[in-house]
């Protein structure tokens, strides 16, 4: 008779609480590099006053286009955005990130060395892309504008974090925080051009909060570096600063990032001894008329091919399915151990 279920022996067949940290490409499909960037026309509506969603493919032509990250502009006083007094989108953005990332008594984002800044750009990675956290030291963003390209050749600034320079990172309300500095990660190695402490003009380029999936950039520094032309003349004027950040990212055409996540793994050892699972319930295994085996050679020496393992609970409800890479021959003269790995 064909056997259907075998109960695991918890002390021998199941190994739990195995934890490992993995790094993978940040963007859709597990890719690590974005070179094309798109926004949606829908973003020109009310939400476009606050932020722009950025896609890997054009949502106008790809119905399955996925949001990769969003860009926003914040100003402490509400400059550069439309609205009513006390209710400006840029002020709401600045306040949102200040409340999320800074201590209660800190009213300004401060960039190394000691520069308080009222004007910021924010890049927020979507949860579906981030999963758990940014892999520090494994991202690079290039920014450029038409003005910077015209006046300085390639005109791009290349930004990374300085996580490789410290073993004791600062921990804030938003978790670990590193400085954003000029540099590259070519070949997987961070190469810093100028440390944050030496950025005495306008302060460092920004801060990255890997545990929150956020990059906060110093708008004043970007204005000086690549002529971002951030509009901060007055509140009540729409300067489309979030759109300017999107344009700078699209013109730079290079955003490399990896995510880091911890996986809890359980291993199930499915031990198939020689006398088990040598018969099949497949109708082709037996004749319909007499119930005899279709292949006479299977009499006293049946053979089957194992292709699938199902994991069930005590109520015989199927919880997980594992597929073998190729069929495995099983008979009275053969045994097998199939290890099923589940990651959570």
Q: Which stretches does DSSP call E strand in the chain?
A: 14-25, 33-34, 51-55, 67-75, 109-111, 115-117, 119-125, 133-143, 157-161, 170-172, 175-184, 191-194, 206-209, 214-218, 254-272, 303-312, 318-331, 336-343
- The pLDDT score that the predictor gives to residue 234 is 66
Instruction: Report the range of poorest mean pLDDT among 37-46, 117-126, 186-195, 229-238.
Output: 186-195
Task: Work out the average pLDDT over 121-131.
Answer: 96
Task: Work out the average pLDDT over 82-90.
Answer: 79
Q: What token pair was written down for 276?
A: 């088990």
- The pLDDT score that the predictor gives to residue 248 is 95
Domain residue limits, the chain: 10-20+263-343, 36-252
Which residues are paired to 115 by β-bridges?
111
Task: Work out the average pLDDT over 81-107.
Answer: 88
Question: Which whole-number Å values give the CA distances from 44 to 49, 82, 93, 166, 297, in the listed order?
Answer: 8, 13, 17, 41, 72
Q: How far apart are CA 325 and CA 72, in angstroms?
A: 46
Q: What token pair was written down for 85?
A: 């007094």
Highest mean pLDDT among 81-90, 104-113, 136-145, 147-156: 136-145
pLDDT tens readout for residues 139-168: 999 999 876 554 544 578 999 999 887 767
Q: Which stretches does DSSP call E strand in 144-245?
A: 157-161, 170-172, 175-184, 191-194, 206-209, 214-218
Instruction: Report the range of poorest mean pLDDT among 20-24, 42-46, 168-172.
Output: 42-46
pLDDT at 64 > cutoff 70: yes
* Percent of the chain with pLDDT strictly greater than 70: 88
pLDDT tens readout for residues 205-243: 999 999 999 999 999 999 988 888 776 666 667 888 999
Task: Work out the average pLDDT over 190-199.
Answer: 65
- When pLDDT is cut at 50, 70 and 90, the band that residue 21 belongs to is confident
pLDDT at 296 > cutoff 60: yes
- The pLDDT score that the predictor gives to residue 301 is 87
Residues ≥6 apart with Cβ < 8 Å to 119 = 73, 74, 75, 76, 79, 80, 218, 219, 220, 230, 232
Q: How far apart are CA 274 and CA 331, in angstroms?
A: 7
- The pLDDT score that the predictor gives to residue 153 is 47
């Amino acid at each position: 008779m064909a056997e259907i279920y075998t109960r695991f022996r918890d002390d021998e067949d199941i190994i739990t609480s195995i934890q490992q940290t993995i790094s993978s490409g940040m963007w859709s499909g597990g890719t690590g590099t974005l070179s094309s960037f798109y926004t949606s026309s829908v973003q020109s509506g009310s939400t476009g006053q606050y932020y722009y969603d950025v896609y890997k493919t054009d949502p106008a032509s790809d119905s399955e286009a996925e949001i990769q990250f969003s860009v926003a502009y914040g100003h402490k006083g509400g400059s550069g955005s439309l609205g009513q007094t006390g209710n400006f989108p840029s002020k709401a953005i600045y306040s949102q990130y200040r409340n999320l990332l800074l201590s209660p008594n800190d009213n300004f984002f401060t960039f190394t060395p000691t520069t308080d800044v009222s004007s910021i750009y924010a890049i927020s990675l979507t949860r579906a892309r981030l999963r758990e956290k940014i892999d520090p030291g494994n991202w690079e963003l290039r920014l450029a504008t038409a003005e910077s390209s015209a006046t300085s050749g390639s005109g791009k600034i290349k930004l990374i974090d300085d996580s490789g320079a410290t073993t004791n990172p600062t921990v804030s309300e938003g978790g670990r925080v590193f400085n954003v500095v000029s540099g590259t990660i070519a070949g997987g190695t961070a190469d810093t051009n100028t440390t944050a402490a030496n950025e005495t003009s306008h302060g460092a380029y920004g801060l990255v909060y890997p545990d929150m999936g956020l990059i906060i950039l110093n708008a004043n520094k970007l204005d000086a570096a690549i002529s971002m032309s951030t509009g901060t003349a007055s509140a009540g004027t729409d300067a489309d600063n979030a759109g300017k950040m999107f344009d700078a990212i699209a013109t730079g055409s290079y955003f490399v990032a990896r995510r880091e996540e911890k996986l809890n793994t359980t291993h199930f050892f499915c031990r198939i001894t020689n006398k088990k699972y040598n018969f099949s319930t497949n109708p082709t295994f037996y004749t319909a008329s007499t119930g005899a085996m279709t292949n006479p050679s299977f009499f006293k020496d049946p053979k089957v091919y194992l292709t699938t393992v199902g994991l069930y609970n005590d109520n015989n409800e199927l919880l997980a399915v594992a597929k073998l890479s190729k069929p495995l021959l099983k008979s009275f003269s053969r045994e097998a151990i199939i290890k099923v790995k589940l990651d959570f």
